[in-house]
């Protein structure tokens, strides 16, 4: 199934289920990780992830390619997460999240030395913890940039803020995560 994301979405709106499968297989991982790192657990993330795609399916008939498909997709995901946070009574700044349970074990190459494996795992754990420790707005900006491949302007559009604020959030998040990696 060829074509841009926007063409695929239009094709799906016209009744082509195969176009949706192509879109889903392309974006399911980034969207899932964006949601997973924005909530506490995997079960919660899967529920939200499913809701996001259901909204995509329901909104397909109204879809018009006014912006990038990914911007539209992550806008839906962002709104679903905001609904979730409001339902949970969470504030936007949260530094107590611990995603260790959600972080999978990376597969180690057979030839790797044991101490290297442990060291790499420790680095990833620190990065995961640093991401979880980011304020929600900064974490969201980082995830949208790295998972959704959105620019600062697109992040601003998806999260309903201005571009300068999105740039600032992204810069703060990157600095904090680099600091976490630099502690090696």
Residues that bind other proteins (CB under 8 A): 12-15, 17, 20-21, 24, 28-29, 32-33, 36, 42, 46, 49-50, 53-54, 57-58, 60-61, 102-104, 106, 120, 123-124, 127-128, 131, 146-147, 174, 177-178, 181-182
Residue 162: CB minimum distance to other proteins, A: 24
Q: CA-to-CA distance for 74 and 30, rounded, in angstroms?
A: 10
- The smaller minimum CB distance to other proteins, of residues 61 and 91, is found at 61
Q: CA-to-CA distance for 115 and 121, rounded, in angstroms?
A: 10
- The smaller minimum CB distance to other proteins, of residues 17 and 91, is found at 17
Cβ–Cβ under 8 Å, residues 45 and 39: yes
Residue 31: CB minimum distance to other proteins, A: 9
**């899967």: which residue's tokens?**
46
Distances from the Cα of 87 to the Cα of 2, 44, 81, 149, angstroms: 39, 13, 10, 28
Residue 74's Cβ-count burial label (10 Å; 0-12, 13-18, 19+) is buried
- The smaller minimum CB distance to other proteins, of residues 24 and 172, is found at 24
Which of 63, 30, 55, 68 lies closest to 158 in space, CA to CA?
68
Residue 89: CB minimum distance to other proteins, A: 26
- The smaller minimum CB distance to other proteins, of residues 112 and 162, is found at 112
Residue 129: CB minimum distance to other proteins, A: 11
- The smaller minimum CB distance to other proteins, of residues 57 and 95, is found at 57
Residue 137: CB minimum distance to other proteins, A: 18
Question: Other CB atoms closer than 10 Å to residue 50's CB: what's the count?
Answer: 12
Which of 168, 119, 164, 108 lies closest to 142 in space, CA to CA?
168
Residue 104: CB minimum distance to other proteins, A: 6
Q: CA-to-CA distance for 73 and 31, rounded, in angstroms?
A: 9
- The smaller minimum CB distance to other proteins, of residues 1 and 124, is found at 124
């Amino acid at each position: 199934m060829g074509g841009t994301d926007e063409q695929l979405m239009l094709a799906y709106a016209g009744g082509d289920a195969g176009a949706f499968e192509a879109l889903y297989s392309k974006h399911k991982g980034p969207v899932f990780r964006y949601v997973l790192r924005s909530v506490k657990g995997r079960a919660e993330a899967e529920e939200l992830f499913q809701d996001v795609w259901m909204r995509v399916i329901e909104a397909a008939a109204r879809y018009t390619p006014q912006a990038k498909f990914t911007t539209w997709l992550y806008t839906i995901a962002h709104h679903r997460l905001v609904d979730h946070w409001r339902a949970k009574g969470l504030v936007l700044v949260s530094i107590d999240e611990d995603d260790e349970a959600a972080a999978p074990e990376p597969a180690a190459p057979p030839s790797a030395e044991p101490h290297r494996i442990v060291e790499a795992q420790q680095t990833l754990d620190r990065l995961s913890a640093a991401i979880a420790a980011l304020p929600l707005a900064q974490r969201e900006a980082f995830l949208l940039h790295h998972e959704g491949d959105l620019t600062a302007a697109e992040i601003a559009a998806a999260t309903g803020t201005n571009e300068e604020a999105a740039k600032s959030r992204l810069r703060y998040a990157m600095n904090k995560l680099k600091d976490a990696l630099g502690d090696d």
